[in-house]
Amino acid sequence: MLRTPSLASWRFIFLAVPFLIFTAVQARTIDCDVCVVGGGSGGFGAALSAARAGANVVLVEKLDRIGGTSTAGFVSNWEPGPGCSFARELYDRLAKEEHAVAVAPRTHNYTPEEPYGLCLGDPRYSYDDSLRRAGVPLDRQCSVVMKPEALAAAMEALLREAGVQILLNTAFQRVELSDGLIRHITCSSNTGETTLIQATVFIDATGDVTLCREAGCEVMLGEEGRDKFNEPSAPDTPRRFLNAISLCYRIVKTDTPAPPVPPAASEERFGKSAFIYGIHDRELIVNTLALTPGMDLVDKGYDEMLAASRKRAAAHWAWLWTLPAFQGYTLEDVAPMPGIRESYRVVTDYILTEQDVRAGLASQTHHDMIAVADHALDIHGGGHGTKELGGPYGIPYRCLLPRNTKNLLVACRGAGFSHIAASSCRLSRTMIALGHAAGIAAAEAAAKDGGVRAVDGAGLARALEF
């Protein structure tokens, strides 16, 4: 005979079940020397160099792949410019695969009638031909074009070979710190598993400097007025403006192309221009350039911004298809994530400014320059245009040191750059180089007391053969 549970029994069940559920999902704990948050270009460089320097490294990445914008964002084109040894190592690895990478010169330049640039792989060019932009005529500049999926696989393989513990589909949630020292962070996987990571040194490579912001670091957003850094191109009255957002898509050549669906009139508000690249002309990736206002990320939030960008990308393809060169193509897929050029930037021990970028290596006197770049001052949207540089410039280690922290480094586009300098210092190979330096510094600091300012910047520069 079945018996109805007594009041005492129900009370036990009521109290015990939540405890059992909590016990089943309580956080696991990982201890390591260096924890890198964000697995884009900067995070890849940081995790790889720290592991190769002997540190026990954990890499946390919210997406299902390594590479960030370069892979999930389809920005798998390294524009002309310097790169560290890790970038060359990636290229050499990809070059062993068929149709995974190519050096690509310009084959079409922007015109009023055909407002797009096109780079296609050409076996006559070598990787070295891609290593400079400043001072090189446009028709002699070369990019490195990669298949996004192949790049993601190569990055992950290098990290795993170095012994990095990779947590994919895992998002940073919160940080525990005291007196400027990060004790641990908490992360959550897309299956609901919670992980607590204790590390001696942490590196923020999230792009939007999520870890730094959660840790209370001072940040900058948008334009700075001229009175802030005395930059010659800065406005007297700054606007709420961020570099524009792209959303790339892939098109393939076909014998039976299907015309795109014409967009609604409300979806036609975008810049009618594009930068297009491919290993060969049978498969191309279209960078939509100034597709979405950068401040939409802040004002509307990521999800709403991405939804609007997807509608604009469809409208962009409908426009591009009207150009004769692309009427033999069909839309293959749209990148899972947008190309965000700028958001929050951290206030660090030194802020790279327009003066640094324009002065170049010949005039800079920093003792701790750990990476080099030469991309133009390049702000999309708002009528700023592109301002080419006369030569390469250096980036000091101090740009990676968030103020009022002890064991935290930043290695992404949100590092210590002014708005103007960030318009140049943001490309993938530059971010790999920043990560490369941050990882070596983190491993050295972790072997001591975790203090990242005790790392000799000049010695770090020498170790990187700067």
User: From CA 193, how far away is CA 180, in angstroms rounded?
Assistant: 28
- Residues 365-391 have a mean pLDDT of 91
Residue 128's alpha-carbon distances to 88, 95, 232, in angstroms, are 9, 14, 33
Pick the CATH number of 29-101+148-239+342-463 from 3.20.20.30, 3.50.50.60, 3.40.50.2020, 3.30.70.2740: 3.50.50.60
How does residue 259 score in pLDDT terms, banded at 50, 70 and 90?
A: confident
User: From CA 185, how far away is CA 35, in angstroms rounded?
Assistant: 9
Sequence ranges of the domains in the chain: 29-101+148-239+342-463, 245-340
Order of strands across the sheet that contains 116-120: 77-78, 142-146, 101-108, 116-120, 274-280, 283-287, 249-253, 329-334
Report the share of the chain in percent with pLDDT over 90. 88
User: From CA 326, how far away is CA 249, in angstroms rounded?
Assistant: 13
Count CA atoms closer than 13 A to 133's CA, side-chain side. 26
Report the share of the chain in percent with pLDDT over 70. 93
**Tens digit of each residue's pLDDT (9 = 90 or more) over 192-209:** 999 999 999 999 999 999
What pLDDT, on a 0 to 100 scale, did the predictor assign at position 266?
A: 59
Alpha-carbon 351 to chain mean position:
19
- Residues 154-176 have a mean pLDDT of 99
What pLDDT, on a 0 to 100 scale, did the predictor assign at position 189?
A: 97
What pLDDT, on a 0 to 100 scale, did the predictor assign at position 267?
A: 62
Helix spans in 215-291 (H):
226-229
What pLDDT, on a 0 to 100 scale, did the predictor assign at position 253?
A: 97
Question: pTM of whole model > 0.75?
Answer: yes
DSSP-assigned letter for residue 290? S
* Token duo for residue 77: 């084109």
Q: Which residue has the higher pLDDT, 318 or 20?
A: 318
pLDDT over threshold 70, residue 150: yes
Q: Which residue has the higher pLDDT, 12 or 201?
A: 201
How does residue 25 score in pLDDT terms, banded at 50, 70 and 90?
A: low
